[in-house]
Chain A
Amino acid sequence: GAGVSQSPSNKVTEKGKDVELRCDPISGHTALYWYRQSLGQGLEFLIYFQGNSAPDKSGLPSDRFSAERTGGSVSTLTIQRTQQEDSAVYLCASSWGTQTSGNTIYFGEGSWLTVV
Chain B
Amino acid sequence: ILNVEQSPQSLHVQEGDSTNFTCSFPSSNFYALHWYRWETAKSPEALFVMTLNGDEKKKGRISATLNTKEGYSYLYIKGSQPEDSATYLCAGTSGTYKYIFGTGTRLKVLA
Contact = CB atoms under 8 A, between A and B. Distances in A.
Interface of A: 3-4, 31, 33, 35, 40-43, 45, 48, 50, 56, 91, 98, 100-102, 104-110
A56 B97 CA distance: 10
Q: List the 6 closest pairs (A to B, CB-CB), nearest first.
A: A101-B93, A43-B101, A42-B103, A107-B43, A98-B97, A102-B32
State the main secondary structure of chain A at its contact with B. loop
B97 A91 contact: no
A48 B43 contact: no
In this complex, which of B41, B44, B101 has the most chain A Cβ atoms within 10 angstroms of its Cβ?
A: B44
B46 interface: yes
A42 B43 contact: no
Overall SS of chain B's interface: loop
Contacts of A105: 34, 46, 99
B98 A104 contact: no
Contacts of A106: 43, 46
Contact of A101 (B42, B46, B94, B104): B94
B102 interface: yes
B66 interface: no
Contacts of B102: 42
Contacts of B49: 102, 104
